[in-house]
Amino acid sequence: MASILSRFTSIVKANINELIDRAEDPEKMVDQYLRELAEDLAEVKEATAGVMAEEKRCQRALRENEDQADHYEDLAKQALRAGNEDDARTFLAKKETLAGEHEGLKAAYDAANANADKMRKMHDKLVDDIEQLNARKETIKAKAAVAKTQDKVTELTSGQGASRGANARAAFDRMEAKADEMLDRSNAKVELNAEPEDRAAALEEKYSRAGMNARIDDELERLKAEIADES
């Protein structure tokens, strides 16, 4: 996820720097920038689809874990009703193993869900930026055309070369400033903070085994009580 966003940010920044370097013609620059943003959007769509698929996979794994845990508890109850306490203990041990996996699956799903949400927001922001820039495109082109006409008039009516050069530079400075503003508005600023490794969670399973038998006994007694209440 972080690599996807980092690569996308680099693409956008590279496009901006390249376009600023060749900003002599704002009309052409606007069209080129929108074409490159459309290409970037295609990449973001592909990346977003991949992240959303990972979110669905994690969600399915979490639900399967929960369904299996419920299934083994039901089997333990059936075993107790049949008088097979050892079988019930085996089923509860399996359920306990699934419970140990549940926390990791839940954390993976939460992270995948957060990543998918960030990618969707970035995708939607880029779509919105492109729509806004398309709406401004004709205005920018019109201003650039007026500036070019004005420069031509100044060149034809002024006999002072230095004055013509100063006027042209001022006009292009104004156009470049407007183009810079357009580019600044579309620069992606989404940053992902890398999730720190949860070493405590990794060690938890190591020490949780020591208390597994006690928890199984507690579960066994609880099921016995439930079955007694059913009688």
What the chain holds in terms of domains, given with CATH numbers, is 2-136+205-230 (1.10.287)
Q: For residue range 52-85, what is the model confidence (pLDDT) as tens digits? A: 999 999 999 999 999 999 999 999 999 999 999 9
Largest CA distance in the chain: 111
pLDDT at 155: 64
pLDDT at 215: 77
Close Cβ partners of 219 (under 8 Å, ≥ 6 residues apart): 76, 92, 95, 96
First to last CA, the chain: 55
Across all residues in the chain, what is the average pLDDT? 75
231: helix, coil or strand? coil
Written as six digits, the tokens of 80 are 């107790």
Query: Letter for the amino acid at 95?
Result: K
Angle at 74 between CA 69 and CA 76, to 5 degrees: 95
Measured CA to CA, the distance from residue 11 to residue 204 in angstroms comes to 41
Measured CA to CA, the distance from residue 74 to residue 68 in angstroms comes to 10
Mean pLDDT of 94-106: 92
Written as six digits, the tokens of 85 are 């306490």
Q: Which residue has the tokens 């399973």?
A: 205
Q: For residue range 106-131, what is the model confidence (pLDDT) as tens digits? A: 999 999 999 898 888 888 888 887 88
